[in-house]
A = this chain, B = another copy of it.
Amino acid sequence: MTLIARNARIASRALAAAPASQRSAALQALADSLRDREHEILAANAIDMDAAKADGLEPHLLARLKLTSSKIAGLREGLGQLLEQADPVGSHLRKTQLDDGLVLTQVTSPLGVLLVIFESRPDAVIQIGGLALRTGNGLILKGGREAKHSNAILVDCLRCALDAANLPHDGVCGVEGREAVHELLDCDEDIDLVIPRGSAELVRTIQSSSRIPVMGHADGICHLYIDREADPSMATRIAIDGKCDYPAACNATESMLVHRDFLDRLRPLGAALIDAGVTLKACPEAARHLDHCEPAEDADGATEYGNLTLSVRVVGSLEEAIDRIHSHGSGHTESIVTDNAETAASFLASVDSASVFHNASTRFADGYRYGLGAEVGISTGRIHARGPVGADGLLTTRWLLQGQGQIAADYSGDDARSYQHRSLPLEPKKT
């Protein structure tokens, strides 16, 4: 595994230094191979599907595992979009003239080598692989056992695409098994970022067992705060959408905080949620204003239910709501419903979460909805990238200084030259 990581590092440097056109050629070759090798891919997937059915895999997991012509067409379309986008490597972020003929440019660079650990969906190989090619990153992929044959052929498509573009195929590598992951998590010299896409347990295990930075989130315990000045019908729509639109999503609302002065309007809101199939777990004070509910237990309010259960709790003030979010939330997404602009501004300024909303459903926290294009994941960490992460999250920067023989000693002592530090306009980069 150490060797795989080391080879990925070496190959990643070739990917990073290659011109954009070469990375584009690899993307094009990948799209072509999905067309040319479709039968082969579907045949490999059929082997996985047969084994999964024999193992009694649940229907919704079988649906995720299954590849179809139309799914493959969708993947090719995604690659086409990546091909249309401007190459993100080598963009100028800052340009400063330090002195005459001494110009500093901060440019975007690939992060290096990514380790992506994902479950069941083999489509992820191509989605993540395409992003890695576009951003010039090396990639080590560990998929689920049940998609073994599908993943293997899709990784082969990626490696062949690198070959076709005269790039080293070790830039993409597939590995199998937990043991392999454990060994890779120790390769902090050669792997720069781990992206776990799966259960909260998977993410937590990886976070606690590696010194390599991990991008993602374990929990999504999103709050909706109904202020005293909330419009009841807006609050109802947003509460139902946040809980019911897709209860298993990380951006689903798990906990509703209600201002005490709103309690006289809570009953119809609660009734609408119950009509929508929601089970309410309420604190005693909220319970008195609800037709049906279960009593809240200690863990409620800090639980990601992932189903149609919603915690309901009364708070006495905006400050109490914010404190509760900070003590019980996971820093993912919180929303306030209020007609008072000042209260909203205070909530937006004070809540320490990746996404903070006013009069909108927590369900909007998503890279596609934010307009980021491809989404790498949603990060609840504060370092490097926070919230929904697009291709930008796979880039870092380098500082390039172009001189004419300048030395530091010229700028100290008697007759020292002074730094100009003049900002220069950013030109579009040459490709």
Contact = CB atoms under 8 A, between A and B. Distances in A.
A137 to B, nearest CB: 10
A398 B356 contact: yes
A71 interface: no
Contacts of A387: 397-399
A350 B12 CA distance: 11
A135 to B, nearest CB: 13
A35 interface: no
Interface string A100-122: 00101000010110000000000
Could you say which interface size class chain A belongs to?
A: 35 or more
Given A112-B382, A369-B98, A383-B396, A355 B401 contact: yes
A208 interface: yes
Contacts of A406: 359-361, 364
Contacts of A10: 326
Q: Which of A16, A326, A396 has the most CB of B within 10 A?
A: A396
A383 B386 contact: no
A361 B397 contact: no
A178 interface: no
Given A382-B112, A383-B384, A360 B405 contact: yes
A409 B238 contact: no
Interface in A388-419: 388, 396-409, 411, 419
Contacts of A208: 211
A87 interface: no
A404 B359 contact: yes
